Amino acid sequence: MPTETRQRQVDRSRETRRKLMAATVECLVERGWAGTTTTMVAERAGVSRGAQLHHFRTRGELVAAAVEHLGAESVLQLKERASRVGGSTAAVVELIADFYASDLFTAALELWVAARTDPELSAVVVPLQARIGRETHRLAVELLGADETRPGVREAVQITLDLVRGLALANQLTDDARRRERLVRHWAQMLEAVL
């Protein structure tokens, strides 16, 4: 097969994956885990069932890949935005909090909750959760310029992430943005004193 043709196939295949993953996250956000069927995702993505099955054998695989993909994309976005706002603790904490209060968190939450009572899904989601947790921690340390060898710094970074996760949860049913902003500002001051 000529190189150009092969490259076109690789591109097309990558584009199909990307469409399927984007449609999956949209479905999770709009309809939740129960409403995210492989049929609905294929339709929304404009991809045939055969092509879908070629890329992802099960709903669990598809959904985990989608969340991981979105997570990786969001991390890039977050880094890019962080480089623009400058490195003040308040600005970085606000960025991280907004990152959590996004569709990515909503999609991931659907997945975490469904995995709790679905062993097959859990097998996919538990390692994914651990990986996202580690990466987010590393990114927060980097963005905050935190020196984790100093006492209390590692804990303060972890508290930041657990706090924004709790705040993101409070944002699922109602718009909690004003309260979140106020608490994030307050926490950023406390964190600043520790760092």
Number of other CB atoms surrounding residue 98 within 10 Å: 17
Q: Is 64 in the site for a second copy (CB under 8 A)?
A: no
Q: Measured between alpha carbons, how far is residue 171 from residues 27, 86, 100, 109, 182 in Å?
A: 19, 26, 10, 12, 14
Q: Is 175 in the site for a second copy (CB under 8 A)?
A: no
CB of 18 to a second copy, least distance (A): 24
Q: Which stretch binds a second copy (CB under 8 A): 52-60, 72-80, 83-91, 181-189?
A: 181-189
Is 110 within 8 Å of 171 (Cβ atoms)? Answer: no
Q: Which stretch binds a second copy (CB under 8 A): 58-66, 69-77, 88-96, 118-126?
A: 118-126
Q: Toward a second copy, which CB reaches closer, 51 or 159?
A: 159
Q: Toward a second copy, which CB reaches closer, 18 or 179?
A: 179
The residue within the footprint of a second copy, chosen from 102, 183, 192, 195 (CB under 8 A), is 183
Q: Measured between alpha carbons, how far is residue 82 from residues 55, 88, 108, 142 in Å?
A: 34, 10, 22, 10
